[in-house]
Structure 1
Amino acid sequence: MRMVKDWRKAWRWYSAQAFAALAVLPAVWVSLPPDLKSYVPEAWMPWIVSAVAIGGLIGRLIDQGGGRD
């Protein structure tokens, strides 16, 4: 297994940003007050997480101009 050539720019990639959001999402959710949590129905949570994950997969397929810098 090898790292990608431009791994130092990974923070710019849509996929890395989406997967970072997935990593932070549970901590943010736990820290929210109950009145804010009430705005998001509990049944939506799996769909929100899935949408962010699918966004990360799609972001991995998009050419983000890595060769321009």
Structure 2
Amino acid sequence: MPINRGRKPTGRVAPTRTSASLSPDLYSTLQDIAKHKKVSVAWVIRDAVEKYITDQWPLIEKSKP
């Protein structure tokens, strides 16, 4: 099996990174939610964004990898 050093796995699309500035209170709330659900803050944000998009544009088909 060939070694794949420093290369992305084939057949998968890399996720796009983004950044956002949040107030300390909002970030603290996200941390509390993440701790309660035993997930990362990033997971909470992704979940919230997916729900927001579904609510705002329900007719747009969601693409799954």
TM-score class, shorter: 0.3 to 0.5
**TM value normalised by structure 1:** 0.32
Higher relative contact order (CA 8 A, sep 6+): 1
- After TM superposition, the score normalised by the length of structure 2 is 0.34
Bigger Rg over Cα? 2
